[in-house]
């Protein structure tokens, strides 16, 4: 079974809790990290100081931005990185051949006190090739971290970006609810999705465990099964309901609902719009209202939205209204959501007018059923009356693109820059321990990210600087930044006494994510043909990359 590393390490005077999911341990890595660690150890190379960059090469979902997420979980792992004796026995069994004992003693003493982690703030808008994390440390331990760090960041960033994209299409005024747990990729796929969809701008989740672990607001009412579990209103035994202010009591709420359904049926504006409504549905709604009179929200599509669900809902809502309660609204989970939301709105407005119930026309309408970016966009184009969206499968599994390709590349060892070549230029890594900056223009928009060598002077406000495309010599531009933001900050100083950034609460990360995305130039954010955000290197770094490249690449021979 999974053992949770309980030792919460002291992190510059503060305790950093272990990873949220106890299965995240130093064993959650690829076997080759251990075979390499052994080979490094055997060659006495394991303590050589290496620098790795963690970055991705392409924004997901055909867009031009990504939301960076997963950093806190990475730091939690790093702060608590320690092998148990059981872990070590298992590693010993798993390595091929027989490895020397000294290696296992080395693993026994291993932690991340010699590792330093520099990262962009969680929740930031980020772009291809710019390091999200820079890991410095002894090569063997940095290498062991590769798999879990990439794992923790890949999906977190992917699903946060997906959430942000859904928010972008839905608009600021809509309520966005994540309902994906049942269709997620496993239990943690669900839990991570709930966390990072909230980070990316969702308002609430249905996932109770996520609500508890991360303080995300929870939402939920009832399902179709609840409706079909009732046969008729006769089943309801306890029919009494106190008024909202406690001053009076209705002894037979069931009859009151029945009276209302008749009134609606014979009202001037609605007469003939429906016949007999479904009794089991009416029973279920009534029963649910008796349990939650202050938060009555009904799923209205079990039988027929306009001929049964909506009239039944209105009868119960009006009976509640008589007692001073205000119903919350309906949920539509099938059919033509644009049409049904508009028809429902008309029905509610007719009720408001006919029976003089102020605000009834503004009844909340939630829509769900396989929603995604495209369907939200289509709803907007068609016109609808939906106030909230419940989004599941397509959101949490990132159906449109199920993986982000984060990589972890060696850029320096023993102060020597390293480059990874590839026939595919987009896969060539940018060597050297680097700094990166975001340069802002006159209108307050971020203009370009620039990477420089570690010891180059930083770009200065008001000073012209040449920004070059890392691999295309003809692409370059002078920029005079109005604001310069250094992107990589120290989140894990190891045992050094460097200052370190706080890990902010999820709510704050969410707020800053929303703010940052709003600050981007709109053409980078649009769904159709967005403009790529520019990522560049300094002139000096450019020259160095190409010097190294020529140096390392074999000269071909055409035959």
Give the alpha-carbon dihedral of 499, 503, 508, 510, to 10 degrees.
Answer: 120
Residue 520 binds a second copy, judged by CB under 8 A: no
Q: Which of 7, 15, 402, 461 binds a second copy (CB under 8 A)?
A: 402
Nearest-angstrom CA–CA distance, 72 and 75: 5
Q: Which of 49, 57, 224, 540 binds a second copy (CB under 8 A)?
A: 224
Count the Cβ atoms, other than its own, within 10 Å of residue 177: 25
Q: 316 — phi, psi (to 5°)?
A: -70, -40
Q: Nearer to a second copy by C-beta: 133 or 465?
A: 133
Q: Nearer to a second copy by C-beta: 139 or 430?
A: 139
Q: Nearer to a second copy by C-beta: 390 or 481?
A: 390
Which of the residues 374 through 393 are near a second copy (CB under 8 A)?
393
Q: Which of 23, 425, 461, 477 binds a second copy (CB under 8 A)?
A: 23
Which of the residues 534 through 553 are near a second copy (CB under 8 A)?
552
User: Which residue's entry shows tokens 């370190």?
Assistant: 500
Nearest-angstrom CA–CA distance, 138 and 414: 10
| Cβ 356 to a second copy shortest distance, Å | 27
| Cβ 332 to a second copy shortest distance, Å | 13
Q: How far is CA 448 from the centre of its chain?
A: 24
Nearest-angstrom CA–CA distance, 197 and 337: 23
Which of the residues 403 through 462 are near a second copy (CB under 8 A)?
403-406, 408-410, 413, 416, 418-424, 427
| Cβ 441 to a second copy shortest distance, Å | 35
Q: Nearer to a second copy by C-beta: 228 or 380?
A: 228
Total of residues contacting a second copy (CB under 8 A): 129
Taking CB under 8 A as the rule, which mask of x and - marks residues 462-501 in contact with a second copy? Answer: ----------------------------------------
CA distances from 92 to 85, 101, 103, 372 (A): 11, 9, 9, 47
C-alpha atoms less than 13 angstroms from C-alpha of 521 in its C-beta half-sphere? 17
Q: Are strands 534-537 and 446-453 parallel, antiparallel or unpaired?
A: parallel
Which of the residues 53 through 92 are near a second copy (CB under 8 A)?
90-91
What Rg, from alpha-carbon coordinates, does the chain have?
Answer: 29
Q: Nearer to a second copy by C-beta: 243 or 401?
A: 401
Q: Nearer to a second copy by C-beta: 350 or 525?
A: 350
Q: Which of 59, 157, 308, 312 binds a second copy (CB under 8 A)?
A: 308
CB 533 within 8 A of CB 424: no
| Cβ 427 to a second copy shortest distance, Å | 8
Q: Nearer to a second copy by C-beta: 245 or 443?
A: 245
Q: Nearer to a second copy by C-beta: 99 or 490?
A: 99
Which of the residues 132 through 161 are near a second copy (CB under 8 A)?
139, 143, 146-148, 150-152, 154-156, 159
Which of the residues 95 through 134 are near a second copy (CB under 8 A)?
96-97, 99
Nearest-angstrom CA–CA distance, 52 and 368: 43
Question: In three state form, how does the secondary structure of 69-114 look?
Answer: CCHHHHHHHHHCCCCCHHHHHHHHHHCCCCCCHHHHHHHHHCCCCC
Which of the residues 163 through 222 are near a second copy (CB under 8 A)?
179, 181-193, 206-209, 211-213, 218-222
CB 225 within 8 A of CB 199: no
Residue 243 binds a second copy, judged by CB under 8 A: no
| Cβ 291 to a second copy shortest distance, Å | 4
CA distances from 88 to 82, 109, 145, 164 (A): 10, 11, 16, 41
Which of the residues 3 through 22 are near a second copy (CB under 8 A)?
4, 17-22
Burial classification of residue 138, based on how many CB atoms lie within 10 Å of its CB (0-12 exposed, 13-18 middle, 19 or more buried): buried
Which of the residues 251 through 280 are near a second copy (CB under 8 A)?
275, 278
CB 396 within 8 A of CB 419: no
Q: Which of 14, 108, 294, 498 binds a second copy (CB under 8 A)?
A: 294
CB 114 within 8 A of CB 137: yes
CB 283 within 8 A of CB 236: yes
Q: Nearer to a second copy by C-beta: 17 or 511?
A: 17
Residue 242 binds a second copy, judged by CB under 8 A: no
Which of the residues 323 through 362 are near a second copy (CB under 8 A)?
334-335
Q: Nearer to a second copy by C-beta: 368 or 536?
A: 368
CA distances from 514 to 71, 203, 459 (A): 17, 12, 27
Which of the residues 27 through 56 are near a second copy (CB under 8 A)?
27-36, 38-40, 42-45, 48, 50, 52
CB 202 within 8 A of CB 228: no
Length of the chain: 559
CA distances from 136 to 125, 126, 167 (A): 23, 21, 36
- Residue among 74, 61, 73 at smallest CA distance from 161: 61
| Cβ 531 to a second copy shortest distance, Å | 27
């Amino acid at each position: 079974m999974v053992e949770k590393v309980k030792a919460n390490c002291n992190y510059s005077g503060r305790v950093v809790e272990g990873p949220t999911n106890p299965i995240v341990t130093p064993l959650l890595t690829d076997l080759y990290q251990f075979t390499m660690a052994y080979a490094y150890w055997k060659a006495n190379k394991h303590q050589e100081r290496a620098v790795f960059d963690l970055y991705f090469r392409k924004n997901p979902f055909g867009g031009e931005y990504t939301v960076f997420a997963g950093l806190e979980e990475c730091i939690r792992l790093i702060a608590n990185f320690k092998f148990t004796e059981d872990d070590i026995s298992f590693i010993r069994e798993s390595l091929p051949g027989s490895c020397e004992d000294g290696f296992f003693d080395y693993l026994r003493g291993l932690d991340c006190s010699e590792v330093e982690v520099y990262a962009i703030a969680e929740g930031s808008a980020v772009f291809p090739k710019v390091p999200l994390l820079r890991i410095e440390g002894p090569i063997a331990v940095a290498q062991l971290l590769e798999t879990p760090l990439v794992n923790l960041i890949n999906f977190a960033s992917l699903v946060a970006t997906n959430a942000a994209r859904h928010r972008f299409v839905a608009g600021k005024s809509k309520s966005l609810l994540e309902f994906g747990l049942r269709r997620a990729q496993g239990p943690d796929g669900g839990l991570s999705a709930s966390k990072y969809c909230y980070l990316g701008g969702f308002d609430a989740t249905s996932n109770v465990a996520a609500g508890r672990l991360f303080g995300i607001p929870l939402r939920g009412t009832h399902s179709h099964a609840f409706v079909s579990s009732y046969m008729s209103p006769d089943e309801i035994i306890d029919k009494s309901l106190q008024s909202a202010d406690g001053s009076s009591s209705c002894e037979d709420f069931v009859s009151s609902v029945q009276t209302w359904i008749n009134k609606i049926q014979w009202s001037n504006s609605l007469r003939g719009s429906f016949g007999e409504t479904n009794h089991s549905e009416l029973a279920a709604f009534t029963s649910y209202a008796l349990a939650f009179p202050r938060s009555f929200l009904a799923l209205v599509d079990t039988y027929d939205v306009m001929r049964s669900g909506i009239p039944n809902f209105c009868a119960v809502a009006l009976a509640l209204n008589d007692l001073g309660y205000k119903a919350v609204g309906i949920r539509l989970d099938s059919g033509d959501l644009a049409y049904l939301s508009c028809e429902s709105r008309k029905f509610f407005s007719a009720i408001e007018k006919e029976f003089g119930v102020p605000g009834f026309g503004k009844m909340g309408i939630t829509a769900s059923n396989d929603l995604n970016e495209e369907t939200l966009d289509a709803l907007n184009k068609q016109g609808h009356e939906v106030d909230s969206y419940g989004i599941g499968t397509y959101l949490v599994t990132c159906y449109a693109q199920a993986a982000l390709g984060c990589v972890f590349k060696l850029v320096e060892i023993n102060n020597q820059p390293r480059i990874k070549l590839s026939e595919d230029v987009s896969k060539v890594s940018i060597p050297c321990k680097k700094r990166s900056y975001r340069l802002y223009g006159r209108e307050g928009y971020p203009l370009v990210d620039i990477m420089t060598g570690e010891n180059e002077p930083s770009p200065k406000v008001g000073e012209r600087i040449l920004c070059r495309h890392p691999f295309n010599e003809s692409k370059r531009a002078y920029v005079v930044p109005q604001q310069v933001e250094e992107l990589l900050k120290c989140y894990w100083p190891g045992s050094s006494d460097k200052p370190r950034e706080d890990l902010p609460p999820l709510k704050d990360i969410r707020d800053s994510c929303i703010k940052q995305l709003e600050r981007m130039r709109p053409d980078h954010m649009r769904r159709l043909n967005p403009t790529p955000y520019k990522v560049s290197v300094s002139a000096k770094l450019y020259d160095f990359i190409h010097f190294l490249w020529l140096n390392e690449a074999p000269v071909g021979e055409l035959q």
